[in-house]
Amino acid sequence: MTEFHTLTTRDEITPELIAELNRRAHAERAAHMRAIGQRFAARLRSWFGLGRPRGTRPLAGVNA
């Protein structure tokens, strides 16, 4: 879980801290965008009848 810490002095706002916060924000944003992209790709596949839904297995003997 994210730790919240109140900064008490300007000295605590270091370039390293800013870089770490930027890294975390970017990672969260990237994960969110990836999830949106995967949902969109799944929707396109279902619209055009391409592929199988994720996590499903082919039926034995069908289109083998």
Residues of the domain holding 43: 14-48
- Around 57, how many Cα atoms within 13 Å sit in the side-chain half-sphere? 3
Residue 2 is assigned to a structural domain of this protein: no
Q: Decide if 52 contacts 58 (C-beta within 8 A).
A: yes
Whether the pTM exceeds 0.85: the reply is no
Residue 6 is assigned to a structural domain of this protein: no
Tokens of 9: 């002095």
Residue 31 is assigned to a structural domain of this protein: yes
| pLDDT given for residue 2 in this prediction | 58
Residue 61 is assigned to a structural domain of this protein: no
Mean pLDDT of 13-21: 92
Q: Would you place residue 3 in the very low, low, confident or very high pLDDT band (cuts 50, 70, 90)?
A: low
Residue 44 is assigned to a structural domain of this protein: yes
Mean pLDDT of 16-43: 95
- Structural domains counted in the chain: 1
Residue 19 is assigned to a structural domain of this protein: yes
Residue 34 is assigned to a structural domain of this protein: yes
The pLDDT tens digits of the residues spanning 39-64 come to 999 898 888 888 777 777 777 666 55
Local structure of 50: helix, strand or coil: coil
